[in-house]
Structure 1
Amino acid sequence: MKLVSWNVNGLRACVRKGFLDYFHEVNADIFCVQETKLQEGQIELDLKGYHQYWNYAERKGYSGTAVFTKQKPISVQYGLGEENSQSEGRIITLEFEEFFLVNVYTPNSQRDLARLDIRLEWEDALLNHLKMLDEQKPLILCGDLNVAHNEIDLKNDKTNHGNSGFTTEERGKMTRLLESGFIDTLRYFYPDTDGLYTWWSYMKTVRERNIGWRIDYFITSNRLEDKLVDSQVHSEILGSDHCPIMLLLRKAQS
């Protein structure tokens, strides 16, 4: 089974930059996107063979998530049941027979950390949501989690300590999540490999020099460990300031 996640930083713009070429070439079973930046009716994607699920932000041109899946889910939930997270279209939870799939666009705490408190509240609510799901069946969490967990996950770790996405508080919430029974799949396969970044500033030559951050993740329940095949970063794919990431799973034996 092949799953892809991509923060497209505006889906309409990404479509103009080759999104559909990648989408059809990769032929994922489940394809998740974040930061769609559009409202219902502003785009029509002809994705034959896929069911489409969208969570739009109330604010125009902001946030938003979507999931495209070949298999129809048993159920779909939008938001965390809290007004601030629902209104920004940041999360979609799909239930399948063997697992839950949670697609997330985590709030950014902002450069001056003005939204850090909101961000930390979100982390607590998200963890509660994941724990509740995990009690029922294994889960796969993917998306832009807006945190570089460890020094290996960004190029300039020394100068970024305490900055948005690399605060002690945000990193601590990620540690707590993983210690609650979950696997960071990329580090499961490549624990010591640096340069595996998923986001780069638009500043000139930054991406060419791979001065980036890893803030996009596939995280799974521990009990899916025996199903893990590989976790990949597709940094060669352009069209956004983020690149797609991929998780490969073994399907259950029928």
Structure 2
Amino acid sequence: MKIISYNVNGIRAASTKGLINWLQATDADMVCLQEVKALEEQIPEIIILIEQLGYYHYWFPATKKGYSGVAILTKIKPVHISYGCGESWIDAEGRILRADFDTFSLMSLYMPSGSSGDERQLKKYEFMRFFDVYIDELRKQFPNLIISGDYNICHRPIDIHNPKSNANSSGFLPEERAWMELFMDNGFIDSFRHFNKDPHHYTWWSYRAGSRGKNLGWRIDYHLVSKPMEDRLKNVRILPDALHSDHCPVLLEID
């Protein structure tokens, strides 16, 4: 089974760059999208094409148009879809969507960024505190859980092109990295690092100064897999040749 996570930075813009043809060629069983920046009624032509590829599709947009929003595409019909997390400001920003299947649950996550200033950084910390408690409770009911998405955090120095100069940058702050460490220690596997310990693998690049061509990136997109599913992990690959966004997809293969 192939599961993709992809921050498309606007599904309408990504679709003009060949996203739908790429999805067809990739033939993933499930796709978690982040930052779709669209309501369903704004993208009828895109939805028709998605359905033609054989996907059921579920959308959880932000209330603010052109902002945030997550989606799940799946060729296997879920037994249940959970929209949001019950925290009003998080749900208004369209950040959490979960699909439950017979043997596991899959979440598309878009964690806030703090890069725009102190106020959003504080909201990011608020989200992180909430998410800890929320996931602890959720795993009591759904122990087999995959949380796929844009965490907006580089876990370790190996996950960022220049850790020294970014030591005070949102996304690589000590508090964020410590949270990521504790979150994983509490029962999740960084599936990419489970298979690959090498440096220079990134999932996001700034549009400035030719960063992508120089591979000056950050690894901020993850498939975190709960430990009871460890024996089902088969492979994880970052797909940097997909050029529909400033992010690139991450492909997880499980039994």
Query: TM-score if structure 2 supplies the norm length?
Result: 0.95
Q: Is the 8 A contact 1:161 1:167 kept in 2?
A: yes
Equivalent position amino acid for 1:210 in 2: N
Superposed counterparts of 1:59-138, under 5 Å: 59-136=64-141, 137-138=143-144
Could you say which structure has the higher helix fraction? 2
Shift in Å, 1:170:
1.0
- Out of 145, 148, 154, the position equivalent to 2:154 is 148
Query: TM-score if structure 1 supplies the norm length?
Result: 0.95
Aligned match of 2:42? 42
Aligned match of 2:240? 235
Equivalent-residue separation in structure 2 for 1:111 and 1:161 (angstroms): 16
Equivalent position amino acid for 1:194 in 2: P
Aligned-residue CA RMSD (Å): 1.1
Aligned match of 2:194? 188
User: What secondary structure is seen at the aligned counterpart in 1 of 2:37?
Assistant: coil
Equivalent-residue separation in structure 2 for 1:144 and 1:195 (angstroms): 18
- Out of 242, 245, 249, the position equivalent to 2:254 is 249
For residues 58-116 of structure 1, the C-alpha deviation after alignment (integer angstroms, 9 at most, x for no partner) is 11110011100111111111111011100011110111111111110000012433322
Aligned match of 2:31? 31
User: What secondary structure is seen at the aligned counterpart in 1 of 2:20?
Assistant: helix
Equivalent-residue separation in structure 1 for 2:219 and 2:152 (angstroms): 9
Q: Is the 8 A contact 2:32 2:107 kept in 1?
A: no
Equivalent position amino acid for 2:75 in 1: K
Q: Is the 8 A contact 1:80 1:86 kept in 2?
A: yes
Structure 2 residue 17 is the aligned partner of structure 1 residue 17: yes
Shift in Å, 1:206:
1.0
Equivalent-residue separation in structure 2 for 1:123 and 1:83 (angstroms): 15
Q: Is the 8 A contact 1:78 1:93 kept in 2?
A: yes
Structure 1: 5+ residue stretches without partners? none
Q: Is the 8 A contact 1:80 1:125 kept in 2?
A: no
* More moved, 200-209 vs 44-53: 44-53
- Out of 166, 174, 196, the position equivalent to 1:168 is 174
Count of aligned pairs between the two proteins: 249
* More moved, 106-115 vs 211-220: 106-115
Shift in Å, 1:134:
1.9
- Out of 52, 56, 60, the position equivalent to 1:55 is 60
For residues 181-205 of structure 1, the C-alpha deviation after alignment (integer angstroms, 9 at most, x for no partner) is 11000111112x1111000000132
For residues 205-245 of structure 1, the C-alpha deviation after alignment (integer angstroms, 9 at most, x for no partner) is 21001000000000001111110001110001101000011
For residues 37-69 of structure 1, the C-alpha deviation after alignment (integer angstroms, 9 at most, x for no partner) is 112311022223211100011111100111001
User: What secondary structure is seen at the aligned counterpart in 1 of 2:24?
Assistant: helix
